[in-house]
Amino acid sequence: MSAVYARRHTPGTRSTRPARYTRPAFAAAAVALAAAATLVTGSTAQAAPPAPVSAATARTYLGDLTVKAEGSSDGYSRDKFPHWKTQSGACNTREVVLKRDGTDVEQDSSCAATSGTWKSAYDGATWTVASDLDIDHVVPLSEAWKSGANSWTTAQREGFANDLTRPQLIAVTDNVNQAKGDKDPAEWLPPTASYHCYYARMWVDVKHHYKLTVNTEEKSKLSSILNGC
- pLDDT tens string 140-194: 999 999 999 999 999 999 999 999 999 999 999 999 999 999 999 999 999 999 9
Other Cβ atoms closer than 10 A to 104: 11
CA distance 90 to 186: 38
For 127-153, b/e burial (b = at least 16 CB within 10 A) is: bbbbbbbbbbbbbbbbbbbbbbbbebe
Amino acid identity of residue 209, one-letter, is H
CB-based contacts of 205, cutoff 8 Å, min separation 6: 52, 53, 58, 61, 166, 167
Task: Please give the model's pTM, rounded to 2 decimal places.
Answer: 0.81
At residue 113, the pLDDT reads: 97
